[in-house]
Each structure stands twice: as C-alpha cells, then as structure tokens.
Chain A
Amino acid sequence: MRNIRTKNNVDLSVEIAGIKMKNPVLAASGAFGYGTEYLPLVSPALFGAVITKTVTLLPRAGNVPPRIYETPMGMLNSIGLANVGVHRFLEEKLPELLSHHPLVIVNIAGNTMEEYAELAGMLNGQPGISAIELNISCPNVKQGGMAFGADPIQAVKLTTLVKKATSKPLIVKLSPNVSDIAAIARAVEQAGADALSLINTLYGMAIDIERQKPVLGNVTGGLSGPAIKPVALYNVFKTSRAVNIPVIGLGGIMTAGDAVEFMLAGAAAVQIGTAGFINPNTVKEIVNGLKDYCLKKKYPEVSQITGKLAV
C-alpha cells in the first residue's frame, strides 16, 4: 500500500519488525498510560503505534510516593511498573485502546524469566496486539528489569525464551545503564529480537537538603527528558551501527528536530515519552515537522532520513 506521491507528498510510513506504521512516531511505554487517558486532548490515532505502560502478570501497586521530581531539564521517576496486571489489561484496557488505534505494542516485564515467557504466551493469542516490547531495562524494580538487561548472557536467555513463547514480532528495550550497550544489542539480536528500543531511563537521584533525605520515596529513580538526549542519541548511533535489526530511538525527544537527529543517527522510528506530559501536541508537531524536513531535503520517503549521518 504505497502512497501516491505528488510534489508535496511525503510517504511517512515505515516498516519495523514487519509492522507497517503510517508514521515513525510512537508513544513510549509509561508515558501514554493505557492509551486513552489523554482523550480528548490527544488521539492515539495520531501515533504510528502506541506502546502501552508495562504490563506484568499480577497487578503491581508501584513504589512508595513521592514518585516524580523535576531536575534540570529532566525528571526523575520511580513509578515501579504500577499497572493493573495482564488480566485486567486484556479485559478493560486493551479493547478501549484498540477501538482508537489498530497498532498496539504491549510492553511486558516479569520478576522471573518464566513470568516473561508466560506473559508473552498469553498475549500471543490476542489478535489485536501487533508486537511485544520486552522491558529488560526498568531501573525502578528490584527483580527482573535491569537484572536481565545489564548482562548479555541473561539478556540472551530471556530473549530466546520469550521468542519461543510468541509468534509476534519482538522488540527489546535496552538500558543505557550498562558499559557496552552495543554488546547487549548484538546478543539479543542473535537471540532473535526483531527490533530494539533505546534508551530507557538513566539511574538518578535527588536529595532534599532540609530534611536530609532522598526526595523520592524509592530513594533512586530513572532520569528522562531533554537532559538525557545526548546520551540517548549516542547510544542509538553506537547501537544502530552494531546490529542489522531496526533501532527505535527515544530519550528526551521534544521536537521534530530532535526526532530527525535520532533518525540521522540510525533510528528507524522514534518514541515520545516525557515530552508528551509537557506538550500534548508533541506527536502532531513531530509528524508535521518530519514531513517538512523531507520536503526541504527532497526525500520522498521519511525512511530515507535513517542513518544519513555523515561522519
């Protein structure tokens, strides 16, 4: 289904892990809830695909408040994967989101590898789900999360196990809190990942000097927002050169210019996280801005930006 191109027409569609999306701007996990909280302000339909808040097998209450704090051009969060659990997700949240958007990617996490595999298996039977995003990079939970994302051997084991449990495309979301992200990326590629998302948040903390206590109830949190953009961009640049599967870039993207930077560095698509909290119109502005950039550069297809960086 190729768009018919006229002079002012840019084909904004991209194909990632076999999923054809109408544009390369995705909602990042945890920033767009279950996809409908922002109605009527932001329609999920504006995104190329919506990635849901991490879903776990059992409901999770999340960490002790306070859970968020503002830092210079960034925010710390220690939400701790608070979610309704997969059963309520499938019964209540997914149908509502699907009524607004046919392309839903479900982000999952577990305490153990078996839990990840069980979840992936359960979701496999759901025709509405386009792909699975494996969260092996959450800095805010004690079990699972980072434990699997920081060690290539664990990451491979987990990816292999999940890949066996599902026939859906598998996207693995990586953490920057490692010494060599490209090594982890290559490992999960070999284990069968169809695409990568990077980056998740960076470890961080803030201290209340009056109370002489950490600001966050969980002591530490994950840093996101413009403050992490240079780090994210570097990780995307480094990783996309190390693997042959598509890389989806995120971390501090606020404007179309930021999205172009990530694509030039090698990203096939981008995700919007923190920016959406501040400017709900971010998705519209980035999609339009990408189109303008392509027109200016005379690219008939947005995918031509990917990897164009001259170094």
Chain B
Amino acid sequence: MLEQKVNIVSHQKIAPDVFLLSFRSDYLAAKARPGQFVHLKPSGPWPLLLRRPFSINRIKGKNIFIMYRVAGRGTSILSSLPQGAELDVMGPLGNGFEIDKKYSDHLILAGGIGLAPMQFLADRLKTMKLNARLFYGCSGKKDLLPCAVPGKVIATDDGSCGYKGFVTDAFLSRINKFRTPVVYACGPWPMLKKTARICRENKIDCQVSLEAFMACGVGACQGCVVKGVKEYLTVCRQGPVFNSREIDWEQEATL
C-alpha cells in the first residue's frame, strides 16, 4: 500500500456517463491484483472531503486504468479533470479475486459498471492460460462498455443487443455447459443476490465484489461493513471480493 501523486495520462468518455482514465504507476503495476481497488481524489482543489474508491480496470505496461460511471459530485468532478491533472492515489487496497487453476471455466458475470474490475481479471486469466468467459448485462446497446474477453455473452434489458433479459438468466440458460466452473461477479445488489442463489443451487463456487461507502479504505474506521452470515465484514479490508456464501443476502441493499 502506497499513497502517491500521479498525473492523468489519458481520460476519455467511452459511453454515456462512463469514463476511462489512466495514469502511470510503477508501484501499482507491480503490486496490484485483479479485484483490488484504489482510493483517490484530485490532489488539487477538491470541494469534497473523502476519497472515492475505484477498482483497477486494467494494467497495460506501467499504466493503470480506471473505468467509472458518473454517480454524483465526486465522479462528476473527476470527469472534468484534463490530461496531466494530478491525482492523489492510495492503493492497492482490498483483497482481490482468488484465482485457482482447479476450475475448468472461469465465468465472469458483470452488470453495468460492475464490468470495471473485470478486464484486469480477464487479462490475468489469459496470462495464466485459463479458460475465461464473460457474461455481461447492461440496459441497452448504447450503454455497452468495452471488455476484451473471448467468448462474450451480452444481455440487454431492452434486447437491443444480444440476449434480451437479465445477465443472470443468460448465464442460467448456459449453466450446464461447464464442468467445474467458478463465477466472479460484480454489479448491482439484486444481480449479485440472484447470482449467489443460482450458484448455491448449482453448487458452483462464486466470488462477488461488493460496494460500500468508505472513509479510510484500510479497515480502521469500521464504516464500510456489509452483513456476513456470522458478523459484519469490512468491504475495504476483508473484501471487496467475498465468497458469496459469506454474505447475508437477505439484508437490505445499502447501495
């Protein structure tokens, strides 16, 4: 974990309200694992208080990519920063996905901006010569986000592209094709909840990446918890990736 000042190398809009930002960090490039995140803010004027957490979308050489959706004041300020602007970045934080070669198929399920951490994961699976597949759901064709993975299944709510319906249904309809699959999921709470149920019913191991409001990002404030089956779990330190069996899915979604 390091805190450093970096400069924006590239910053572009890639879909309505969605941006792709990159900066150079030798440290993160060497240390980060798929599923980990950074806690960042502009290092110049920032009329807000807390940092904001973002998954690492991809690492290309020494460049770190963040893919984010404008959700409120912080992300809207972020989206206005020009190339060259300085960012203050803390990371890598969190635990990341656990990759185990014992599985025959590594299935990535993403909903909306939940796609953000998955390119890094897909890249890592590829380097490890593991069989990866992406199931990606979004509202419609115009909201499609880029992710380079072989064997993509796309689902859209309005049917404007690929399977018409939820990504979880697209996944369920193909579930018997895999021998010993593992699922990595990130997206809105209802989607994760459904994914967890499907995986439990079909005895599939499933890792989910969760979100929560964060202050410290390192496990010191106890602010970012979700309810686990036994106890509260800190999303920043014990997560953001959890085994889906660890989570109490009946709790009210907090985000």
Contacts and interface: CB of A to CB of B under 8 A. Distances in A.
A2 B224 CA distance: 44
Contacts of A75: 49-50, 215
A70 B49 contact: yes
Interface string B220-249: 111111110001100001000000000000
Given A68-B223, A70-B213, 6 more contacts: A38-B218, A61-B231, A66-B254, A68-B221, A69-B213, A77-B215
5 contacts: A37-B218, A38-B218, A67-B223, A67-B224, A281-B3
Contacts of B71: none
Place the interface of chain A in its size category. 20 to 34
Interface in A7-56: 30-33, 37-38, 40-41, 53
B212 A65 contact: yes
A73 B47 CA distance: 8
Interface string A62-80: 1001111110011101010
Interface of A: 30-33, 37-38, 40-41, 53, 61-62, 65-70, 73-75, 77, 79, 82, 217, 225-226, 274, 276-281
B90 interface: yes
A279 B224 CA distance: 18
A73 B50 CA distance: 9
A77 B49 contact: no
Given A37-B220, A65-B227, A68-B223, A274 B49 contact: yes
Interface centre among A61, A66, A69 (most CB of B within 10 A): A66
Nearest to B237: A37
A66 B254 CA distance: 6
Contacts of A74: 49
Contact of A68 (B1, B90, B214): B214
A278 B3 CA distance: 11
- Give the 10 A-B CB pairs with smallest separation, nearest first: A33-B220, A68-B223, A37-B220, A82-B222, A277-B215, A277-B216, A66-B254, A37-B219, A37-B218, A79-B222
B232 A68 contact: no
Contact of A280 (B3, B50, B237): B3
B254 A65 contact: yes
Contacts of B254: 65-66, 217
B226 A65 contact: yes
Nearest to A40: B1
Contacts of B220: 31-33, 37-38, 277
B51 A277 contact: yes
B3 A41 contact: yes
B232 to A, nearest CB: 6
A65 B225 contact: yes
Contacts of A280: 3, 90
Nearest to A27: B220
B1 A33 contact: no
B41 interface: yes
B229 to A, nearest CB: 13
A216 B200 CA distance: 31
Contacts of B90: 41, 280
Interface in B78-125: 88, 90
B221 A79 contact: yes
Contacts of B212: 65-66
B49 A68 contact: no
B232 A278 contact: no
Nearest to B88: A279
A40 B86 CA distance: 23
A32 B215 CA distance: 12
A77 B50 contact: no
B128 interface: no
A280 B88 CA distance: 11
Interface in B22-76: 41, 48-51
A74 B50 CA distance: 9
Contacts of B222: 30, 33, 53, 62, 67, 79, 82
A33 B223 CA distance: 11
A70 B50 CA distance: 7
A38 B39 CA distance: 13
Given A62-B232, A68-B215, A280-B3, A33 B221 contact: yes
Contacts of B218: 33, 37-38, 41
